[in-house]
Structure 1
Amino acid sequence: MRHDGKTVVLTGAAGGIGSLLCRELKREGATVVGVDRVDCPEADETIMADLATQSGLADICNLLSSRRVDLLVNLAGMQYFGLFDRQEPDQIWTGYVVNLIAPATLMRCVLPQMQARGDGQIVNIGSVLGAVNYPYFATYSSSKAGLRGLSEALRRELGKSPIAITYIAPRAVRTAFNGAEVNRFLEIAKMHPDDPALVARRIARAIGGRRKEVTLGIAEHFYTRLNGLCPRLVDAGLAGTTAKARELFAN
């Protein structure tokens, strides 16, 4: 499905995946409004916003409520990698706000106008780690699990409404989002990050198809289902990786 004449609001549009997704959506005919803390050169328009504060969220909601939004794509996120007992309380708070509270707030902001028109789509970009919760990503995994739950709950609440709720869970992607320690963890876990251009294309395809939930990666799709059915089996499977990765935090 093309997006001719439609306005897409994309958070995190200045990032590695965000900028590539801007191109994909524009190629499908959309006008893309990028929301980020910095300029979004690949978007048609940039809205500077701080999604980590209550005042920043209030400002962006006031702005979006006064203009047409055909598609909302919640891509912006924050990731903490490390021992949970070393994560600062303000990092915990900010991570949950950006990864879960901000998407929920923006969804609440644009949903009434979509319902009034009888058309629209909300897309939440989560993570495989939101279904298979990995050690050392405790707050990131749990916030993405919450985003997945929010998407599913709202989809059920809307029932047969023409408004589509799409949740997409990428696996590791080769971008600056991953620091040196995360890349070392990926090596230990034998995870091979995906090419960001490929991920952006697959996200765009899922958006265009108005898919309900998409997990990127065949193995990841399998482990998502396995974790839901037999979480203790996944515990055992991750034990070796957990022990090896702990050495990264020895100092």
Structure 2
Amino acid sequence: MRFKDRDILITGGSGALGRRVVQQIESEGGRVVIVARAPVAGRQTLVGDLSTSQGLEAVAAQAGARPWDMLINIAGIQHFGPLEQQTPEHLLASYMVNLVAPARLAQAVLPDMKARRRGQIANVGSIFGSINFAHFATYSSAKAGMRALSQSLRRELTGTGVGVTYVAPRAVATPFNSAKVDEYARLTGMAVDDPDQIAQRIVAAVRADRRDVYIGFPESLFVRLNALAPGLIDGALKSNDLKARALFAG
């Protein structure tokens, strides 16, 4: 779907990757509104904290009150480390932002899209949602849920005129990564992509109304292998998993 003169709602639009996506879409004539916890100067903002039920409902109410041509879910939060070291509050917030919010906002915008028989929902997930990395348990499982949400919703919307795109980048060089994630990437040789290039790939996938896009090689190959023979991927990742474990020893 072209962006010119389209009304587009983007979560995570004030983040390092989201800002780049917003800029590219606006350069093609799209009218963008972002979701953020506080008003963003110079930008139309739906205000609400997606990590809480109250904040999410505030955003959903605002989103459902007006028509949208596209919803692009980019917002995400991450925990890197043993599951038992993640606080209960952060664990719940991880699922709220990474999975519950995309589903709830889709609920909010779909009635009007279906009534007009035109629209698109794009969910930006992660390769980690298909290759479920150790020490990223909540992030990987939430993104796996986002992938499943995208696929099931696409099937549900067949024939309605509303499309669903799922884009799964690998690691991206932004402040989203903690110092330990950066150290893990250095120790294991994990590829970390340029955010400008990834933003371009996301925008291209949405513009073309692609179904599923996995970014990066060999990770995109591992996605297929993990689906067919996860034991092979267990072995391939074992050395890196042990290196990650060492970061949290003691």
**TM-score (norm. length: structure 2):** 0.97
CA distance 1:189–1:161, change in 2 (3 Å)? farther
Task: For residue 247 of structure 1, report the CA deviation from its aligned partner.
Answer: 1.1
Q: Counterpart in 2 of 1:49? A: 48
- In the alignment, structure 2 segments of 5+ residues that lack a partner are none
Is the Cα contact below 8 Å between 1:168 and 1:215 reproduced in 2?
yes
Query: Aligned partners of 1:65, 1:46: CA distance in 2, in Å?
Result: 14
What SS does structure 1 have at the residue aligned with 2:9? Answer: strand
What SS does structure 2 have at the residue aligned with 1:124? Answer: strand
Query: Aligned partners of 1:24, 1:154: CA distance in 2, in Å?
Result: 26
Counterpart of 1:204 in structure 2: which amino acid?
Answer: V
Query: Aligned partners of 2:208, 2:87: CA distance in 1, in Å?
Result: 40
Q: Counterpart in 2 of 1:183? A: 182
Paired positions, count? 250
Q: Counterpart in 2 of 1:132? A: 131
For residues 109-142 of structure 1, what are the alpha-carbon distances to aligned partners after superposition, in whole Å with 9 as ceiling and x for unaligned? 1001000000000000100000000000000000
Counterpart of 1:154 in structure 2: which amino acid?
Answer: L
Task: For residue 188 of structure 1, report the CA deviation from its aligned partner.
Answer: 2.1
For residues 181-219 of structure 1, what are the alpha-carbon distances to aligned partners after superposition, in whole Å with 9 as ceiling and x for unaligned? 000111222112111011111100000000011001131
What SS does structure 2 have at the residue aligned with 1:218? Answer: coil
What SS does structure 1 have at the residue aligned with 2:164? Answer: strand
For residues 64-102 of structure 1, what are the alpha-carbon distances to aligned partners after superposition, in whole Å with 9 as ceiling and x for unaligned? 111121100010011000011211212111100110001
What SS does structure 2 have at the residue aligned with 1:249? Answer: coil
Is the Cα contact below 8 Å between 2:46 and 2:62 reproduced in 1?
no
Does 2:230 match 1:231?
yes
Q: Counterpart in 2 of 1:26? A: 26
Is the Cα contact below 8 Å between 2:50 and 2:96 reproduced in 1?
yes
Q: Counterpart in 2 of 1:242? A: 241
Q: Counterpart in 2 of 1:160? A: 159
Runs of 4+ with deviation above 6 angstroms = none
Alignment RMSD, CA only?
A: 1.2
Most deviating of 43-52 and 106-115: 43-52
Query: Aligned partners of 1:128, 1:150: CA distance in 2, in Å?
Result: 15
Does 2:92 match 1:93?
yes
Query: Aligned partners of 2:36, 2:43: CA distance in 1, in Å?
Result: 13
- In the alignment, structure 1 segments of 5+ residues that lack a partner are none
Is the Cα contact below 8 Å between 2:12 and 2:74 reproduced in 1?
yes
Counterpart of 2:238 in structure 1: which amino acid?
Answer: A
Query: Aligned partners of 1:56, 1:244: CA distance in 2, in Å?
Result: 38
Aligned-residue sequence identity (percent) comes to 42
Task: For residue 242 of structure 1, report the CA deviation from its aligned partner.
Answer: 0.9
Query: Aligned partners of 1:56, 1:245: CA distance in 2, in Å?
Result: 34
Is the Cα contact below 8 Å between 1:31 and 1:44 reproduced in 2?
no
Instruction: Give runs of aligned pairs for residues 59-208 of structure 1, distance below 5 A.
Output: 59-208=58-207
Task: For residue 175 of structure 1, report the CA deviation from its aligned partner.
Answer: 0.2
Query: Aligned partners of 1:227, 1:94: CA distance in 2, in Å?
Result: 27
Is the Cα contact below 8 Å between 1:33 and 1:45 reproduced in 2?
yes
Query: Aligned partners of 1:40, 1:151: CA distance in 2, in Å?
Result: 29
